[in-house]
Structure 1
Amino acid sequence: MDRRQVLAAGAAGLASSAVGAGGAQAAEAGSAQAAGAGAAHATAAAAVPAAVTDDRSAAVIRELGGALDASPTLLDRGIGWTHTRFLIEDGGVPYAVDVVADTAQPPRSVAYLLPGGGLNFLAGFFTPRDRNLAHHLRRLGHLVVGVTPREDLSTAAEVSADRGLAAHRADALRVIGAVDAALRLPYQLIGHSAGAALALDLAGTMGGGGRGRRLERVVALDTTGPYEGEPALRAAQARDAYRALIEQGAYANDPGLKGILARALSDPGGTSPVPRPVDPATRFTHAGLAHYALIRTNTLPGPANWIYRQGHAAGTYTFGATPAEDRFTLAHSPLPVWGEATASLGSGLIAHALLRDLCAIWAGDEATYRIAWERIRAEVVWVNMELGRGDFPLGAELIRRGGNRHVTFQVVPGYGHGDPVWGEQAHAEVWPLLTPK
């Protein structure tokens, strides 16, 4: 199956770390719809799928096809909405741009959704299909444009040493520039985890021209700016670890959460190969391992898992006398939803260069990577999760020190890192915080 087929089938990335410290892999299905994804400009502008031409989204899709120089593939539609994908091919590994449009009314603004490391739009913002952040934003009148990192369609051999945060910013800027030139609508940048760092980085580079003036709001969902004290030292150590991997020629990683969750759902009582920390002679069950990895992420090995106050998901895990007697539960995000998200992954790969740059930001190492906090002029809504990235507001404070008085920082109690996008009550408890009136 080639990249176009995988893309049209909805392959995309969640990860053991939406932050940028984990990864997963691709779902399979065959679709010939994407065969024309690299068509010429004139064809792209005209090739709106027939099923879309009877609604208000058709003109927008047509304009975007011309602006992006890519053909649209209609992936899905429901009552009042369409989900269309464009494949951006520029000579390198292609990357996906997903558009969720309302069919009853034209958009009043654009919301760019930027997923975390190892994730893609489908996993991070369009799961579950009928209850997701993309639909929440669409109902508020936004045209939803998701930009998936090109690692999603890469093999490990195709991820290079230069795929740091600046490369991700350049890819996103190409899309934002094209869409802005075509529509001239006000817009927001909304990112989760590593995607939130990207949103902040983009906001610091927009300048004061028309595109910069049309940026109304930046939403940073569960991410971290610079730490202080001991966490900053740990971040510097993690930066050095990823730098060493790059120097050794290792440019990406995939922790494989997709497989862990698939086995937990298909064979929950089966024996995993991973020892239980309370008794290394015993092994987690598949269900136990999945829950432990989600709930107690900060205890797992790896250079950057310590950044979570607890884990990807809120919940409890209590060890029993045997693996079968372990007791565990997730508080907000059901395991099948995690499985649905991870099943839609592409490669799940996270570039070590991206992780190096994120660690440099956390360490306050501006020589390695610097976000221009003082140049962010749009409203900033920064919402962290108590059990995810926690109460570390220095990044928001740096934006305020630069003269921006429209900055808020708050922490949602009892939520883990992935719960604000997949939690059953996130629509009531988190999403309204991201879209204040």
Structure 2
Amino acid sequence: MVVGVTPREDGTTAAGITAERGLAAHRRDLAAVVGALDPVLGLPYQHVGHSAGAALALDAASHDDSPRLRRVVALDTTGPYTGDLARRAAGTRDAYAGLLAQGTYATDPGLAALIAGAVTNPAAPSPVPWPADPALRFTRAGLAHYALIHTSALPGPANWIHTQGHAAGEYAFGAAPAGDRFALTHTPLATWHAATAALGSGLIPTALMRDLAAIWAGDGATYRIAWDRVRAEVVWVNTELGRGDQPRGADLIRAAGNDRVTFTVVPGYGHGDAVWSRTAAADVWSLI
């Protein structure tokens, strides 16, 4: 039995999201779902999540002492960094904290609209300057592919966390934007379109991003996953081009005495490819 837990922000507008919609609020919602099902089913269960959902799954496991919680599957997420990356994450945390202070409680990263434009009107010019000649503009198809493949090169407080991008692929600039050549390696654009079109509001709570950035920065005063309290088996699978070879979260769980922890990096995959690739069943899901 699979139970999908949809975050509240998926079904609301920006006006319905408050400064309290951080990771703890999401964890409490998940616990309420488990609390409703567990007394009725009485079955072993596991938490499975991707990206922010994987951080939620790990956080939930640190607060769940039920003997029926058997496993956590974390797909392409990040624990604490060290050194320069931790300092960069602290800057990201501060950026989101600043937005909260200004009353910006949610943002729409715009990926759904970007991909929809690439599908419905691929040759039309986008509003974004073309890197080879900023006087020109990406086509809509070009921009969507560039944003998926080279997410880390885009502006924004948290895009840098990807080693390269949401999707594996190739992008080569032509003599003009219409001459650019690009292709996605694992996940077709049609799949990205179907997935992002099903997002609901597409809004991401600012408080959630602040808390995630605090985890990346190792800032336990703002938010901390109690790694030492994760006692269930942990299967952590990252992607080479997404969150990359960053095993410190898994290492902290293991260092606290949980020896049922594995960490694997799937080569040649981007962040979203872990769930949507045509070959994910063989390349990713076989690992779990």
User: What is the TM-score of this pair, normalised by structure 2?
Assistant: 0.99
- CA deviations over 1:181-217 (Å, ceiling 9, x no partner): 110000010000000000000000012xxxx100111
**1:192 and 2:50 correspond:** yes
Match of 1:417 among 262, 271, 285: 271
CA distance in 2 between partners of 1:227 and 1:252 (Å): 25
- CA deviations over 1:238-270 (Å, ceiling 9, x no partner): 000000000000000002111111111111111
- Match of residue 115 from structure 1: none
**1:394 and 2:248 correspond:** yes
**1:144 and 2:2 correspond:** yes
Q: SS at the partner of 2:281?
A: helix
- Match of residue 373 from structure 1: 227
- Match of residue 153 from structure 1: 11
Match of 2:109 among 255, 263, 267: 255
Q: Which amino acid aligns with 1:181?
A: P
The structure that has the greater radius of gyration is 1
Match of 1:164 among 14, 19, 22: 22
Q: Which amino acid aligns with 1:272?
A: S
- Match of residue 302 from structure 1: 156
Task: Give runs of aligned pairs for residues 397-408 of structure 1, distance below 5 A.
Answer: 397-408=251-262
CA distance in 2 between partners of 1:263 and 1:156 (Å): 22
Moved beyond 6 Å, runs of 4+: none
- Match of residue 180 from structure 1: 38
Q: How far apart are 1:378 and its partner, in Å?
A: 0.6
Q: Which amino acid aligns with 1:372?
A: A
Q: SS at the partner of 2:2?
A: strand
Q: How far apart are 1:278 and its partner, in Å?
A: 1.7
- CA deviations over 1:7-61 (Å, ceiling 9, x no partner): xxxxxxxxxxxxxxxxxxxxxxxxxxxxxxxxxxxxxxxxxxxxxxxxxxxxxxx
CA distance in 1 between partners of 2:135 and 2:88 (Å): 31
Task: Give runs of aligned pairs for residues 253-332 of structure 1, distance below 5 A.
Answer: 253-332=107-186
Q: SS at the partner of 1:151?
A: helix
Q: SS at the partner of 1:432?
A: helix
- Match of residue 218 from structure 2: 364
Q: Which amino acid aligns with 1:370?
A: R
Note the residue ranges of structure 1 that are not aligned, 5 or more in a row.
1-142
Q: Which amino acid aligns with 1:214?
A: R
CA distance in 1 between partners of 2:113 and 2:74 (Å): 29
Q: Which amino acid aligns with 1:168?
A: H
- CA deviations over 1:359-383 (Å, ceiling 9, x no partner): 0000000010011111111100000
Q: SS at the partner of 1:213?
A: coil
Identity of aligned residues (%): 67
Q: How far apart are 1:343 and its partner, in Å?
A: 1.2
Q: How far apart are 1:426 and its partner, in Å?
A: 0.5
Q: How far apart are 1:305 and its partner, in Å?
A: 0.3
CA distance in 2 between partners of 1:230 and 1:276 (Å): 30
- Match of residue 193 from structure 2: 339
The answer to which structure, 1 or 2, has the higher relative contact order (CA under 8 A, 6+ apart) is 2
CA distance in 1 between partners of 2:114 and 2:20 (Å): 30
Q: SS at the partner of 1:342?
A: helix
Higher helix share: 2
Q: Which amino acid aligns with 1:201?
A: D
Task: Give runs of aligned pairs for residues 32-71 of structure 1, distance below 5 A.
Answer: none
Q: SS at the partner of 2:4?
A: strand
Once superposed, what is the RMSD of the aligned Cα atoms? 0.6
Note the residue ranges of structure 2 that are not aligned, 5 or more in a row.
none
CA distance in 2 between partners of 1:189 and 1:217 (Å): 7
Match of 1:383 among 237, 243, 250: 237
- CA deviations over 1:310-352 (Å, ceiling 9, x no partner): 0000001111110011010000000000011111121100000
CA distance in 2 between partners of 1:368 and 1:263 (Å): 38
**1:205 and 2:63 correspond:** yes
Q: SS at the partner of 2:236?
A: strand
CA distance in 2 between partners of 1:255 and 1:188 (Å): 30
Q: Which amino acid aligns with 1:144?
A: V
CA distance in 2 between partners of 1:374 and 1:252 (Å): 31
CA distance in 2 between partners of 1:217 and 1:244 (Å): 36
CA distance in 2 between partners of 1:255 and 1:276 (Å): 20
- CA deviations over 1:366-425 (Å, ceiling 9, x no partner): 010011111111100000000000001000000011110000001000000000111000
Q: Which amino acid aligns with 2:74?
A: A
